Structure 1
Amino acid sequence: MEEEVVSKGTAVVACTAMTLSYVAILYAPTLILRLPPPPSFNIFMIRRFVCAAISSIVSLLICALILPIRRKEASVLLGVYGIQVDHIVSWQAVVFPVFLTSLMYAGSLVLKSLVLVESWRDNVHHNEGVSVECIKIIVQKLIASIVSVTSNVLAWRNFVVAPLTEELVFRACMIPLLLCGGFKPYTVIYLCPIFFSLAHLNHLMEFYSKQNYSWAKTSMVVGLQLGYTVIFGSYASFLFIRTGHLIAPLVAHMFCNFMGLPVLFSRRNGMVSIAFVAGMVGFLSLLFPMTRPDLYNYRSNNCQCWHGYCSWS
């Protein structure tokens, strides 16, 4: 879309406001509402979850008011946000992004597999062979681990609340605004992650004040985190623009949060480095073929732009 249906200045200001509100609302209970300190860490995190949900709703409303959408039906609005009502959970939008993302973590997956095999061997050796009791112990450990994760408030933050609210605000709301502001898709892919990384600057004070880190260590940790968020934000924006599905960057976000930083090498085994290089080659080779818009959208309406946004008005 060549013409600006929303001015670039308006789009940037709106994205900046959404970024600031996303962070500010997190601190509203104590700084604005003057609520007493939460009695437990779980209550503190639940407050954060509510605040993140409110900020997401605010961003969705701002986006809906600014974008030039004449038809205000729910299906049209949801489609703008990458929520396609006719096929909310498309298997392509889940499987392909997870597979692509896993290629970047080939080294990590190989390392985890080696650790798992080593643990299995230790269990077998300790029990003098594979027995029913040995398998039972392993299954019990697996079930206990799953139960522990599902009942952990930090797991809910890392794998559900943070990915969902951040993708809604920094992809579903900001990308349509920037595209309608006349920014080229590739510009948006690099511009949108800047807002995403700025939203993580609040960790600077949290690390310094709560973790008692020095400024040097705090800057190093936060700098690494910001660099990672810029890289991931570019990838997530690319997925959203190419597929037109919110679910694509969402599942990639969940997977990345689960895996952490990719493992590049291991002193214990050179296979990890080989797997990482092979995974990156596969990722770069399949990035465009596996994100072709026609794989994710049944109807293109002969529209050359992302998800038909030039026909919203």
Structure 2
Amino acid sequence: MEENKVSLSKPVAMIACIAMTLFYVAILYAPTLILRLPPPQSFKNFMIRRFICAAISSFASVIFCALVLPIRSGEASYLFGVYGIRSDHIWQAVLFPLFLTNLMYAGSLMLKSILLVNKWKEHRNQDGRPLLCSIKSTLLSFSDQMSSVASNVLFWRNLVVAPLTEELVFRACMIPLLLCGGFKAYNVIFLCPTFFSLAHLNHMMEIYGRHNYSLVKASMVVGLQLGYTVIFGSYASFLFVRTGNLIAPLVAHAFCNYMGLPVLFVPRKGIVSVAFVAGMISFALLLFPITRPDLYNDRTNNCRCWQGYCSWN
């Protein structure tokens, strides 16, 4: 592998990742604590302000990472490639990880299907309309719901801003730094989510203050969230290292944010648990075959230090 030697020291890589984590969280509070701006008049304005802060943090991290990494070419396509931002193998990077992620939510998808069918049957029995009319009404209703959701600021936070900015900082920037710092791919997959989960510690004070939870209850809520972010962060890091493409963890992140926690069990609906178990078994069996580096790259040798998929061959 070309430039396989360590290009950065491990302490430098670690300090750089810690600095980006702290900056990503700190800048969210900069408008009120540093700039002394008045509090937002609405929740929408509050979220828009945070969107701007997250975008600034992501841009700063990309520039900072480019200065720290041993990048010798100034070409835009080369720089974007360092962060996994590529125009090749797009459909593989979208469809394969999305299919793989769906398997973890087989129970949730089965439950949604059951509820959708029951709702459709209920409407059909009440209206007494023909099958085609019922289907048309259901599709129009779904279209209206999607239109209202798209105008919701939480939709943009969960499915666009959070996945894009977090994947840029905690995957596209940090993973190349850690790999070039000499950390093995397996270590990076479990180390990088640590920074990702620490960035969510700020939620504890927000939950404790806004929802009037006790410190113990707030700790339990945040602890569950941190556990989930560590698990998901490991999976997203795995996708980035294996594929070398930022789109892979990005689509997985957006889908997981949309679905929430997987459904494991529903009373009197054993088929949901069966679907969950079958989905997880399929996920485990397909995890490595469906993320083979050669599916996402024209070549998997003669790579730079930040391209971790080379070491998987």
Q: Which runs of 5+ in 2 are unaligned?
A: none
Q: Deviation at 1:306?
A: 6.2
- In 2, Cα distance between equivalents of 1:101 and 1:132: 32
Q: What letter matches 1:30 in structure 2?
A: T
In the TM superposition, what is the alpha-carbon distance from 1:140 to its structure 2 partner?
Answer: 3.0
Letter in 2 for 1:182: G
- How far the C-alpha of 1:73 sits from its partner, in A, is 1.4
Count of aligned pairs: 308
User: Could you tell me how far 1:130 is from its partner in structure 2?
Assistant: 2.9
Taking only the aligned residue pairs, the percentage that are identical comes to 69
Instruction: Report the secondary structure of 1:212's partner residue.
Output: coil
Residues 3 and 208 from structure 1, CA distance in 2 versus in 1: closer, same or farther, beyond 3 angstroms? same
Q: Which residue of 2 aligns with 1:218?
A: 218
Residue correspondence of structure 1 range 83-94 to structure 2 within 5 A: 83-84=85-86, 86-87=87-88, 90-94=90-94
CA distance in 2, matches of 1:3, 1:133: 65
| Correspondence 1:72-87 to 2 at 5 A | 72-84=74-86, 86-87=87-88
Contact 1:80–1:309 (CA under 8 A) maintained in structure 2: no
The alpha-carbon distance between structure 1 residues 309 and 76, as it changes in their structure 2 partners (threshold 3 A), is farther
2:140 aligned residue: 140
Q: Please name the residue that 1:254 is paired with.
A: 254
Q: Which residue of 1 aligns with 2:38?
A: 36
Q: CA deviation at 1:3?
A: 3.0
Which digits, 9 at most, give the CA deviation of each residue in 1:227-270, with x for residues without a partner?
A: 00000000000000000000000000000001000001110310
Please list the CA deviations of residues 126-180 of structure 1 after superposition, one character each: whole Å capped at 9, or x if unmatched. 1125355534432332122101111000100000000000000000000000000
Q: Which residue of 2 aligns with 1:97?
A: 97
Which position in structure 2 is the counterpart of 1:54? 56
Measure, in 1, the Cα distance between the counterparts of 2:277 and 2:169.
33
TM-score by length of 1: 0.94
Gaps of 5+ in 1: none
Partner Cα distance (1:22, 1:304) in 2: 27
CA RMSD of aligned residues (A): 1.7
Secondary structure, counterpart of 2:56 in structure 1: helix
The residue type paired with residue 197 of structure 1 is: S
Which residue matches 2:67? 65
2:166 matches 1:166: yes
Cα distance change on mapping 1:295 and 1:136 into 2, 3 Å = closer
Q: Deviations over 1:25-46 (max 9, x none)?
A: 0111001000011111111111
Deviation at 1:216, TM superposition (A): 1.6
The 8 Å contact of residues 300 and 308 in structure 1, kept in 2 or not, is answered as: no
The CA distance in 1 between the partners of 2:279 and 2:55, in whole Å, is 35
In structure 2, the residue matched to 1:21 is 23
C-alpha distance 70-302 of structure 1, shift in aligned 2 (>3 A): closer
Would the aligned equivalents of 1:60 and 1:173 in 2 still touch at CA under 8 Å? yes
**Structure 2 match to 1:290:** 290
Deviation (angstroms), 1:299 = 3.0
In 1: Cα distance, 2:307 partner to 2:23 partner: 27
Q: 2:273 is matched with which residue? A: 273
Aligned to 1:45: 47
Match of 1:5 among 1, 4, 7: 7
Equivalent in the alignment of 2:188: 188
Which AA in structure 2 matches 1:166? E
Is the 8 Å Cα contact of residues 242 and 306 (structure 1) preserved in structure 2? Answer: no
Asked whether the equivalents of residues 20 and 61 of structure 2 are also in contact (C-alpha less than 8 Å), the reply is yes
Code of the aligned partner of 1:18: M
Residue identity opposite 1:73 in structure 2 = E
Distance in 2 (alpha carbons) for counterparts of 1:43 and 1:261: 28
What is the CA–CA distance in structure 2 between the aligned matches of 1:152 and 1:278, rounded to whole Å?
34
Partner letter of residue 275 of structure 2? A
Q: How far apart in 1 are the matches of 2:305 and 2:125?
A: 60
Question: Cα distance, 1:2 vs. partner?
Answer: 5.8
Shift of residue 118 of structure 1?
0.6
* TM-score in terms of structure 2 length: 0.94
Verify the 8 A CA contact 1:22 1:55 in the aligned structure 2.
Answer: yes
Q: Is the 8 A contact 1:16 1:195 kept in 2?
A: yes
Give the superposition deviation at 1:76. Answer: 1.3
